[in-house]
Structure 1
Amino acid sequence: MGNYTLEEKDSFTVLGFGTELKSDYTDYAGINKEKSDFWLEVQKDGRLDRLKAVAANDYIFAVNEAVNNKMMHYAGVMTDESLPDASRVIQFPKGEYLVVKGEAATAEELSNMLTGIAFGQALPEAKEVSYVGGPNTTVEMGKRNGLVFGEMWIPVVRS
């Protein structure tokens, strides 16, 4: 159990702006490009700043969720407030989460690295729990020593 922990979390809500990912779920390069383009867009057009203005903390959430058989990706913040044009209010359940921590040069590198470790190594190793769907998220928590640090949170159930 070297690269992950299991943590109990209270339920929380993320308000976000989203986009549908059109690439095949096995096309990691295509998915990563779509996510990267989306993040550039929400930073440039001010949507990310509007989210930050209603956030309960400094965390930035990159949420992945299947909605109506579509792969959705959201830029979000933890908040109980709302914005009239936000795409979605995402409910994360109270319960156990597989957590992978890390740091990287950029938020995008952090998200890609944590997702790879979480789904490629940690979940296959975590025999005592299973991911049964629902939203998962990378959480950009801040910067230190010139690096972005954060975690990936995946809701799991005991196997």
Structure 2
Amino acid sequence: MADYTLEEKDSFTVLGIGTELESDYTDFAGITKEKADFWLAIKQDGRLDTLQAIATNDYIFAVNEAVNNKMMYYAGVMTDESIQEESRVIQFPKGEYLVVKGEATTADEMSNKLTGIAFGQVLPEAKNFAYVGGPNTTVEMGQRNGLVFGEMWIPVVRK
């Protein structure tokens, strides 16, 4: 089984700028392209810089959340401030989280790799915990040795 930990986390919030993912949830290639296009757009138009300017740390969050039966995807940061752009305050509950750590050459690659490990390996094989919904996120934490490193955080409950 993939390398993972279960960690207790306090509740936290992420301020995110988002987009609705139109691809079917089983269309991995379509979702991956939509996410990559979204990141390119918010980097080019300055919205990511706007978020990072008010962040309380250097972490960049890529959040998946179901909202009103829509698959939403957000770029976000931890902050107590707000921005002019349309945004959403995403609440993560206090509790246990599945944490998968990893690194890759780009943030997109890291996010896709960790998502694949978490949802493709760890959760299907887990016997004593389960994901029951709610927002989940990959967290870009920095760079070292030319690679982007970070973690995926998924709220889970004990079975």
TM-score tier after normalising by the smaller chain length? over 0.9
Aligned-pair distance for 1:125? 2.3
Unmatched segments (≥5 aa) in structure 2: none
Aligned-pair distance for 1:124? 1.7
CA contact (8 A) 2:2 2:117 kept: no
Distance 1:125 1:158 in 2: 14
Unmatched segments (≥5 aa) in structure 1: none
Q: Which amino acid aligns with 1:146?
A: G
Corresponding residue number in structure 2 for 1:20: 20
Distance 2:124 2:27 in 1: 20
Q: TM-score, normalised by structure 1?
A: 0.98
Aligned-pair distance for 1:87? 2.0
2:7 counterpart of 1:7: yes
Corresponding residue number in structure 2 for 1:128: 128
Aligned residues: 159
CA contact (8 A) 1:101 1:151 kept: yes
Aligned-pair distance for 1:85? 1.9
Distance 2:158 2:104 in 1: 30
Distance 1:104 1:68 in 2: 33
Q: TM-score, normalised by structure 2?
A: 0.98
Q: Which amino acid aligns with 2:140?
A: E
2:157 counterpart of 1:143: no
Q: Which amino acid aligns with 1:44?
A: Q
Corresponding residue number in structure 1 for 2:60: 60
The sequence identity of aligned pairs, in percent, is 81
Corresponding residue number in structure 2 for 1:112: 112
* Per-residue Cα deviation, 1:86-130 (whole angstroms, up to 9, x for no partner): 321000001000000000000000000000000001112221111
